[in-house]
Structure 1
Amino acid sequence: MALAGGGVGAVAGVRVVDTMKEIDESGHVVATPDRSRLWHAQTPQAFPLELIMDAYHRAFKEDVPATDDASLVERVGGQVVMVESSGKNLKITRPEDLDLAELMLSRGDGR
């Protein structure tokens, strides 16, 4: 994440290998995006302090929701680069994520 400097943010991520589908409000498929340009964003995400503070200040002031820090930085025109990570960089969000992490650690895969 040493790239986060000079006004540029950095996000860890992995390339999408699954086929992705975009759907409409009724659940009908409307598009199949080109996955060669799609990445799963992960953590960590790193940004110059002034840039991320400005992005959060403006989002709070304008009541803008976000799913991650990078989306707020992108919204204010900040540049964000993707840094290739590993599929082993798990985010523990759901109970099954913890189960997977425990399995990986027990097999020695979590290094």
Structure 2
Amino acid sequence: MNKRIFKFLLSCFAIVFLIFLFFGSIILKLSNKYRPSIYNYESYLSPEIIKKIGKNYNYKEFKEVSEFTQALTQDKAIAGVGSDFQAAQLILDKKIKKIDYTKIFGNNSNTW
């Protein structure tokens, strides 16, 4: 009889634990907004622009062009360009396209 009670309590505990784990993961996902990554070669942007980008996006700087290429091919980056040659090659490969700054900064995107 004690063995049955123990199994019942253990299964109840497991079910409650899984429910808490499920709802905890949902709450964590909803509280942490997704921020896509934008890569920039070293420090070509002014700190004010970096601050604006950092509000809604995960801004990253890279030192080697291959870092950015790898991030693009693995779909970890949504924007960024390292060199003119790389930009031309990525356009031909249809990996990048023209940036619509109004989607990032709104209609007042030309204020900087």
Scaled by the length of structure 1, what TM-score is found?
0.22
* Higher relative contact order, structure no. (Cα contacts within 8 Å, ≥ 6 residues apart): 1
Larger radius of gyration: 2
**Which structure carries more strand by proportion?**
1
Q: Which is richer in helix?
A: 2
- Give the alignment's TM-score, normalised by structure 2: 0.22
